[in-house]
Structure formats: structure tokens, C-alpha cells
Amino acid sequence: MANTDLTALTGDYTIDAAHSTIGFTVRHAMVTNVKGKFVDFSGSLHLDGADPSASTASIDVKMESIDTGSADRDGHLKSADFFKIDEFPTMTFRSTKAEALGDEDYRITGDLEILGTTRPITIDLEFNGAAKDPFGNERVGFEGKAEIKRSEWGLTWNAALETGGVLVSDKIKLNFDISAIKNA
């Protein structure tokens, strides 16, 4: 949404998980992409329209809520081969830096914790706009993307293919569609 008065958006927001998506794409068997998402998550944003660098984000994801459209695959991802959800039930993101890149583009850097390992990631964001919904809620929307190497968080399970290569790529594409409601 062009020409938005960002100073009017300054405040604290709660992520509306029912209207947001935290998803991922991973190459499978070297030939196709498998997409998935996390269904159960919560988070908050602090937006500072006058000084976007003072903005922050915090997200907690329940790992048991992973959904790839295959119960067997989801079960494997929840197991000790991957996310070890009994030991590490939550993935977290805490921002450490926010930058305005110009136009509607922003970049947020923060700490992503998976399996007890915390590493920095950078998420490129596009501001999709702000609106008052029919229920009187002030909303903001952002779309974001990032790439990570899952091995950097200890996610190393794999299987070799007869034709060469591996079953699951190391590179994971993360995508975010976030709708947040301004706190009263």
C-alpha cells in the first residue's frame, strides 16, 4: 500500500494466526518441492513508524503443528530424525535488527532457535498495507521470505539416492504471510 503514514501505525500488535501463514519449501528426491506449514503459532510485533529500526518481532511456533499434507511425513518430521518435538516442542524467532530498505521493503534480522540451537537469520519483508477490518481492528500485513540451511541447526537426517544426491535438500525456503492486529 503506497503512501501509508507509517507513524500512524506505531504500536504493539498481536499476530493473527488464523489469517497468517508460516510455511516452508524443501526439495525432495532432487526432483520436486514439498511445501508445508506450521498451524499453531503466536507472536507479537512492535512497529515504530517514525523509526522502523526500533521495530521488533517475536514468534513462537509449536513444532507438533507441522503440516505437509502427509500424516506419515509429518510423523517423521516430528521424530528424533528431525525436530525431536518431545524434547524441543517450540521453535522461536526473536528479532535483533530491523531496517527500512525503501518503498514498502524492509529487512528484519533475528535469532531463530531450533533444537536448542540459536542462529541468526535475515527475513526480507514487503509491507502489504494497513486497514481497519469490519470488526474495528486495526490490521497490518507483511509478506516475507528467507533461506536457511537446516544442517546449521542440527537437522542433518538424510538418505542417499541411487541416482546420486539426497532425499531432502539442506536448503529450506521459509515464507511468511503475516496479519497482525493492533493491541487496544
pLDDT by residue (tens digit) across 90-108?
A: 999 999 999 999 888 999 9
| Grid-cell match 535488527, residue found | 97
Q: What count of other Cβ atoms lies within 10 Å of the Cβ of residue 160?
A: 9
DSSP 8-state symbol, 167? S
For the residues 18-46, what does the mean pLDDT come to?
A: 90
Percent of the chain whose pLDDT exceeds 70: 91
Please answer whether residues 141 and 129 qualify as being in contact, where contact means their C-beta atoms are separated by less than 8 angstroms: yes
- Per the model's pLDDT, the better-predicted residue between 139 and 168 turns out to be 139
Task: Report the mean per-residue pLDDT for the chain.
Answer: 90
pLDDT the model gives residue 5: 65
pLDDT at 168 over 90: no
User: Helices marked H in 97-162 — which ranges?
Assistant: none
Strand partners, 62: 90
Please answer whether residues 90 and 118 qualify as being in contact, where contact means their C-beta atoms are separated by less than 8 angstroms: no
The pTM of this model reads 0.89
Cα–Cα dist 23/21, whole Å: 6
Cα–Cα dist 106/145, whole Å: 11
How many residues are there in the chain?
A: 184
CA 180 and chain centroid, separation: 14
